[in-house]
Amino acid sequence: MQPTARLATIDDLPALVRLYRELEVEQTALRPMWRLADGLAEPVGESLAGIVGSGDPLLYVGLVDGVTVGFVWATVDDLLPQAGGLQVGTVRLIFTEPPARGVGVGEAMMAEVLGELRGRGVSMFDAKVSPGHRHAKNFFEAHGFSARLIVMHHDDAR
């Protein structure tokens, strides 16, 4: 059982939608605002198809024994003009099905996406992690990430 990762294709859309919905349930339980502000626009299938078809998707699937059990999506973002053209690679979404966690799927996906970003000359990386998601925080810290910004939120309706 050797975990692997590869660039997502249009054929992966059903698995990506299924995995995204699992991620959405997990994240919304931690933070109801997630699906409104940090997830993908509905309809999710169209959003994922747009990423895959963008010409620069940075969307990878993680597999165990040929079965898709996870995905990671990153973007390349320009820093402010005073950064002199530097960019940051941002891991926007990453998810591995709970039964497949701890066997190297996340590591395989991170190696692919960070390798691609580094190949483009990107040397700074961000990752979005929900407060209270200890496993995600530990995962990124194990890959050399540390917090640089905490977003505070208040909702008058609550």
Q: Number of folded domains in the chain?
A: 1
Q: Is residue 30 in some structural domain?
A: yes
Q: What are the per-10-residue average pLDDT scores of the chain (158 residues)? A: 95 98 96 94 98 94 97 97 97 96 96 97 95 90 92 86
pLDDT of amino acid 132: 84
- Look up tokens 């799927």; give the residue: 105
Q: How many CA atoms lie within 13 A of 28 on its CB side?
A: 10
Quick check: is 150 in a domain? no
Q: Tell me which residue range forms the domain holding 136.
A: 4-142
How far is it, in rounded angstroms, from Cα 152 to Cα 150? 6
- What pLDDT, on the 0 to 100 scale, is given for residue 9? 97
**Does some domain include residue 115?**
yes
Q: What six digits make up the tokens of 70?
A: 């996870």
| pLDDT at residue 131, as a whole number | 85
The three-class DSSP label of residue 101 is coil
Task: Tell me whether residue 114 is in a domain.
Answer: yes
148 in any annotated domain:
no
Decide if 46 is inside a domain: yes
Domain assignment of residue 152, yes or no: no
Specify if 149 maps to a domain.
Answer: no
The enclosing domain of 16 has a CATH number of 3.40.630.30
Structure tokens at 95: 């998810």
